[in-house]
Structure 1
Amino acid sequence: MEVVGIRKRLLGVLIRWLNQESNPDYSLAPLSSFERLCYEIRPGDVILINGRSRVSDVIKLITQSPWTHSALYIGRLYELGDRPLQNRLVSEYRLEMDKPYIIEALLGEGTVIYPLEKYSQEHLRICRPKGLSPEDTRKVIRYAVDRLGTDYDIRQLLDLARFMLPYGFIPRRWHSSLFSHHAGLQTRTVCSSMIGEAFQAVRFPILPFAGKTPDNKIHLYQRNPRLMTPRDFDFSPYFDIIKYPFFNLDDLSLYRHLPWASTDLYCNNPDDCYSTLPTIDDATDSADPSTDKPQPTGTIAATSANSQGENP
């Protein structure tokens, strides 16, 4: 029992370390408009999040995608059209009828429900299932609600990393939880797997495999949901990708009125900017005073301050 207790404490320390987030840079304008997203989002949409935690950095490295987390938007309770489900969520989770909610699987918390406003400061993207019927939307949401309380599967996350990395000392399938098959619902899950299972429960495709029968008929085969990552919803041809940039360019030539800086500024990153367009060598090598390479002018925040007549 003492060994089990030590293992739990060590696991708790690891989870807290992985979940630690970097502070958002408030000197930069947001990439997406949360206000517009809240107005346009619909129940059944999948939300992709560009996370800032250490585990998010690991997922970015593994998947080669900025999208590190996914959540299912279930909407406001009065939008569900399912009175028993509404009553259940109100009685068991003390939810408010007019507040928008999401369901997600989180490291250290398991499958939980939170208000959408939790991600008001994050870079988000909506993936909307094409042609999903209202009835199947309710089934997808009900499936996710039924998974509330399910533990987060850390083992699956580690096995997924081992499977996707291009190298490894251990065979990818050896003792891997990704390829074990058990009857019934899994008792543990991760964010994208839970959402993938919800859509597959109504036979909605995400990234299915296609095969031909001997008589040349096409058959689709669902992908193993335990192999799914947030980027799969972004890549899927069966989801519309909906972006809500901070500046809306729907109006003709509105881009002409964007608040560009008063000087032409080119940035390798927010802390490394040049007054003239750098070459590839400039972007990768440090500036050499003995050369004619363009010299850095500072950061975006400092340049913004200078344009307003302030000292950096």
Structure 2
Amino acid sequence: MTTRQDTALDRSLDRLGHWMSKRLRRKSSGYNPYTPSDFDTLCRVLKPGDVLLVEGNERIANAIKYLTQSTWSHAAVFVGNALPEPADGGERPRLVEVNLGEGCVAVPLSKYRCYNTRICRAAGLNDDERAQIVRFMVDRMGLRYDMRHIFDLLRYFFPTPPVPVRWRRRMLAFGSGDPTRAICSSLIAQAFQSIRYPILPKIFEVGREGEYSRREIFLIRHHSLFAPRDFDISPFFEVVKPTLALGFDFREIEWGSPPEHSGDGPQSVERPTASH
């Protein structure tokens, strides 16, 4: 039976959790994309079921980038036109993602117009399998992260913990509660595991050493151990660069002339706009 003390404690922990969440989602100052984003081209290239990696600029993003030794701190799934247009005439949400403090939500693609992004596309999926990935994500919209799991939040306040590199990823799965709702890539990993698509599986070889033919057995890793960078380094996901995907001819680039200078500093040249 729930006591008044238990209820009061739950409320206190929930308030503390929301306070911590707001602190972790504060923007870092001075963020600038390394490469200018060609947003229109990005929109044209994305397909339903694609994973969009994002270089975030929040405090929690900095911690995730450090712990995973990667530039990518966030991941979302492109769902195309699976969701209706807003009644107020706003932009149709085309990404489903998991955010700390919000849970699983849908957002417009323009949210990441000014960020470094990368498209990771699962190879060999047919239209039905892509639709299954999209449906998995859409069906889980509204999932909330329990803010009372204080230990799950506390780990992100220490973006540079004094632990060996090999242990840093394990910190993403450390905590008293379910960490999968705090990390966007965990739910996405579950979506692909639902159709038994590999991301970074453990591989065991069956057969005696030296045999001509050996079977490889793929063992699915637990979804809580996946990070955004895993879709980038997975041998089963193609990295799609929008500028190249729509056809690129370097001969058509119009290069700018080096500006005149007094000779007291390095010359700079105008670079063509390219999508990351």
Same fold (TM over 0.5): yes
Once the two structures are superposed, what CA deviation does each residue of 1:140-163 show, in whole Å capped at 9, x if it has no partner? 111111211112366557679899
- SS of equivalent residue, structure 2 residue 10: helix
Query: Is the alpha carbon distance of 1:245 and 1:55 closer, same or farther for their aligned partners in structure 2, counting shifts above 3 Å?
Result: farther
Map of 1:31 onto structure 2: 36
Q: 2:64 aligns with which of 55, 59, 63?
A: 59
Shift of 1:4: 2.7
Shift of 1:17: 1.1
The answer to whether 1:201 aligns with 2:194 is: yes
Distance in structure 2 (CA, Å) of the matches to 1:25 and 1:168? 28
The answer to whether 1:20 aligns with 2:17 is: no
Paired residues of 2:37 and 2:113 also in contact (CA < 8 A): no
Distance in structure 1 (CA, Å) of the matches to 2:257 and 2:38? 18
Query: Is the alpha carbon distance of 1:275 and 1:5 closer, same or farther for their aligned partners in structure 2, counting shifts above 3 Å?
Result: same
Map of 1:124 onto structure 2: 117
Return the letter of the residue paired with 2:21: I
Q: 1:234 aligns with which of 232, 235, 252?
A: 232
Return the letter of the residue paired with 1:135: D
Written as runs of structure 1 = structure 2, the 5 A alignment for 1:39-78 is 39-77=44-82
Map of 2:4 onto structure 1: none
Q: 2:130 aligns with which of 109, 125, 137?
A: 137
Shift of 1:76: 1.3
Written as runs of structure 1 = structure 2, the 5 A alignment for 1:79-158 is 89-90=83-84, 99=92, 101-152=94-145
Distance in structure 1 (CA, Å) of the matches to 2:112 and 2:134? 20
Return the letter of the residue paired with 1:55: I
Map of 2:10 onto structure 1: 4
- Look at both structures and tell me which one has the larger radius of gyration over its CA atoms: 1
Map of 2:3 onto structure 1: none
Distance in structure 2 (CA, Å) of the matches to 1:162 and 1:214? 43
Map of 1:275 onto structure 2: 265
Map of 1:262 onto structure 2: 259
Q: How many residues align?
A: 248
Shift of 1:68: 0.4
Structure 1 spans left out of the alignment, 5+ residues: 78-88, 181-185, 265-273, 278-299, 305-312
Shift of 1:177: 5.6
* TM-score normalised to structure 1 length: 0.66
* TM-score normalised to structure 2 length: 0.74
The answer to whether 1:210 aligns with 2:203 is: yes
Q: Which has the higher contact order (CA 8 A, sep 6+)?
A: 2
Once the two structures are superposed, what CA deviation does each residue of 1:159-200 show, in whole Å capped at 9, x if it has no partner? 79899942799xx69x956999xxxxx984521010011011
Distance in structure 2 (CA, Å) of the matches to 1:210 and 1:129? 19
Return the letter of the residue paired with 2:206: T
Query: Is the alpha carbon distance of 1:72 and 1:209 closer, same or farther for their aligned partners in structure 2, counting shifts above 3 Å?
Result: same
